[in-house]
Chain A
Amino acid sequence: MIPDLSLASGGINANVWVVALAGAISFGVPLVLAALGEILAERSGVLNLGVEGMMLVGAVSAFLVADATGSPWLALLAAMAAAAALAAVHAFLCVTLRANRIVSGLALVIFGGGVARFVGSSVEGQPRGAEIDPLRIPGLADLPVIGRVVFQQDVLVYATVAVTALVALYIVRTRPGLALRAVGESPATADAAGIAVARVRYVHVIVGGAFAGAGAAYTMLVVVPSWNGSATTDGIGWIALALVVFASWRPWRALAGAIIFGFALRANFTLQAAGIAAVPAEILSMLPYLLTIVVLIALAPTAMRRRAGAPTALGQAYVRDER
């Protein structure tokens, strides 16, 4: 991932670590958005491994629309729509046709990556046509440390926190959220209670895709300054999948985890800015992936003991007994 260094060059004497924290939040936004989407899909019982593919399709859509219209907001919408369309393919294959979910998710990554590289090949390496500027919150932005870290972010950062809260409330406190959990835990019971299992699954997989698309749009409009083929997202879709496990399928934990992973994702630039050149760039680039692997392995014993919040019906197709 090629970072937008302009983001990190806030104040002349800005403390490196303050900038690093601010950057961690910004790098965390695509992760948490994609993870929230996956939480919605998995809570309905549908594993969708295609996050990386949906994000690539979303990112290229965001780039092309930003290029054509100059509007970051239209770019965001286009990314959400494109990723949601790809998610709908997964929903159709898994919910209606009951195909192998794992292979379907992988197919989404390969097809989505191929489509994105195909339509994006003519603009590869070009700078983006629009971006989302940071928003200084009057009064608060000038506070020491916290002002730079929290109150000079762009509007999508604040929106992401709000969306996390809404998703958390939706899952736990609303009727459709209750239906969602019922479908994910025991589809047969949900069906008997009159919940349309297939419809709930379709809706949440597709909305989950739109979330991944929003995350990809943020990557494209804030984090990475140009379309670089599959290196644009560079595996953050996969890290988001691990983040869901890390967060035990809970939105707020996903947000907290995303900041930690966001910190690792930009460790490269933090250490360079701090003047620590002892560790080569390529080795630092491995850090987020190694961290994710370590976290997954370290969490495994706990996950085995309590199933750590995984929806019971995750990965099971639901076939209503016929008569």
Chain B
Amino acid sequence: MILGRYEVLLEQRTDIRRSSALIVPVASILGALVIAGVFLWLTGRPALSVYARLVSNGYGSWYSISDTLGQATPLILTGLAAAFAFRMNLYNIGGEGQLYAGAIGAAWAGLAIAPHVSGPVAVIAVLVAGMLGGVLWILIPAIARAFLNTSEIVTTLLFNYVALFLMQYLIFGSSSFWRDPDSKNFPQGKPLPEVAHFPQLHFPRDVAGIDFPSGVSRVHLGLGVAILAVLVVWFLQQRTSFGFDMKVVGSSERAARYAGIPIKRTVIAVMLISGGLAGLAGAGEVGGRAYALDPNGLVLGLGYTGIVVAALSRYNPFAVGLVAVLLAGLRTGADALQGATGPLRVPVAIAFMLEGAILLAALGGEVFRRNRLVVRRIREAPA
């Protein structure tokens, strides 16, 4: 680009400085806070106090930390789902629908299988059925992508709407197996038997500062499953030949073909695993939080936020865990702000606005991590 007598260009850095790995994300978050601050200011709200409340509501007490970890549980899994596929340039943006499908599967197992088996088996059945629900939901986009080269971006996304309507049909539109027959006027999901409920983490009541009604936190088995999933994904990517195949197919299909790597099989496997991870998130929401198929309580954009988590963590599974907790705090903080009074009462959508702004800022920031901005004075052309 030429501005007057100066030339402005991006020059690729030959050495990417270590410190930039920290500076760029921090600058991105600050940038996002400024962008969202403009909208807060435009709607007559004190941006700084809103942010202060957001942080204290999200991370300020044991109660809010437990809440944030509960919120982070599905985000770790949907974040992993997106990161695992995005890494290979397979843009599965259907995590939202795969999560719903997982919830439908998990609720089915909780209602149909759990009453006939003992505790651990019931919980495992819920988890497996959730995973299978997610796998099933991505099956068609995965096959179409592998064999017909149909763009997975639009197909996975459109299936989100199909899953949403399916879930609504099961609870609101029919007297299905999932619906509570006792809820005539306000249709609800049939409650899962207690044997299928995920174990909760109990905080000892005498630890300073913790005051839960029954000593039970919002943290449930799902968090353990999510952490395990982080380790499994890392192991799969870094320590197995499948992970190597993934890397090759992702960077060059031609190289993969010459190396004899089964491309179609790798593509399908990656997409199915991605769908299964998102399905697990749905299982956690059913077995660890709602204890029923609850369409209204599930439509929180957890799958879409998973995309933000994945992009911000640059597809690294461990970073996914950290970023998920960070963004979950935004959500808990925003939930609390919605219930506040006066100018600090802020619609919960601020969390989504901030997530989007952070992602936009990080995209720009990433460029400056890899390149430097050079401003050069244009010399007169030699005669």
Which residues on A sit within 8 Å (CB–CB) of B1? 96, 198
Tell me whether A242 and B154 are in contact (CB under 8 A). Answer: yes
Q: Are A282 and B169 in contact (CB under 8 A)?
A: yes
Contacting A at CB under 8 A, from B153-178, are 153-155, 157-162, 165-166, 168-169, 172-174
**Which residues of the partner chain B approach A102 to less than 8 Å between Cβ atoms?**
91, 153
Give chain A residues whose Cβ lies under 8 Å from the Cβ of B103.
Answer: none
Q: Shortest CB–CB separation between residue B174 and chain A, in angstroms?
A: 6
Select one of A117, A239, A322 contacting B347, CB under 8 A. A117
Taken together as a complex, chains A and B put the C-alpha atoms of A126 and B356 apart, in Å, by 26
* Known pairs A238-B154, A280-B173, A296-B154; A290 contacts B363 (CB<8 A): no
Query: Nearest Cβ in chain A — how far from B363, in angstroms?
Result: 4
Interface magnitude class on chain A: 35 or more
The reply to whether A121 and B349 form a contact with Cβ atoms under 8 Å apart is yes
- Provide the residues of chain B in CB contact with A107, threshold 8 Å: 308, 311, 356, 359-360, 363
CB of A17 within 8 Å of the partner chain: no
Given the complex, which residues of B lie within 8 Å of A106, measured CB to CB? Answer: 91, 93, 307, 311, 359
Q: What A residues does B308 contact at CB under 8 A? A: 107, 110
Is the beta-carbon distance between B159 and A301 smaller than 8 angstroms?
Answer: no
**Alpha-carbon separation in the docked complex, A103 to B85 (Å):** 13
Check if B251 is an interface residue, CB within 8 A of chain A.
no
Q: How many residues of B contact A (CB 8 A)?
A: 52
Q: What is the interface of chain B mostly: helix, strand, loop, or mixed?
A: helix
A239 contacts across to B, CB distance below 8 A:
158
Interface residues of A in 270-294 (CB under 8 A from B): 280-283, 285-286, 289-290, 292-293
The chain A residue with its CB closest to the CB of B86 is A103
Question: What chain B residues lie within 8 Å of A162 (beta carbons)?
Answer: none
Contact A289 B356, beta carbon cutoff 8 Å: no
Is chain A's binding surface mostly helix, strand, loop or mixed? helix
Interchain CA distance A184-B226 in the complex, whole Å:
43
A245 to B168, CA, bound (A): 30
B148 touches A49 (CB 8 A): no
Q: Is the CB of B357 within 8 A of A111?
A: yes
| Contacts A102-B153, A286-B166, A293-B158 given; does A115 touch B360 at CB 8 Å | no
How does the 8 Å CB contact mask read for B25-47 relative to A, with 1 for contact and 0 for none? 00000000000000100110000
Q: Mark B127-166, 1 if CB is under 8 A from A, else 0.
A: 0000000000000100010001111011101111110011
CB within 8 A of B360: which of A93, A293, A296?
Answer: A93
Q: What 1/0 flags go to B317-334 for Cβ under 8 Å of A?
A: 000000000000000000
25 A-B pairs with CB atoms under 8 Å apart are A89-B360, A96-B1, A99-B363, A103-B359, A106-B91, A106-B307, A107-B356, A110-B307, A110-B359, A111-B355, A114-B352, A114-B353, A114-B354, A119-B43, A122-B347, A235-B157, A238-B157, A241-B154, A283-B169, A289-B159, A293-B140, A297-B144, A300-B144, A300-B148, A304-B149
List residues of B whose CB falls within 8 A of some A CB.
1, 9-10, 39, 42-43, 86, 91, 93, 140, 144, 148-151, 153-155, 157-162, 165-166, 168-169, 172-174, 304-305, 307-308, 311, 347, 349-357, 359-360, 363-364, 366-367
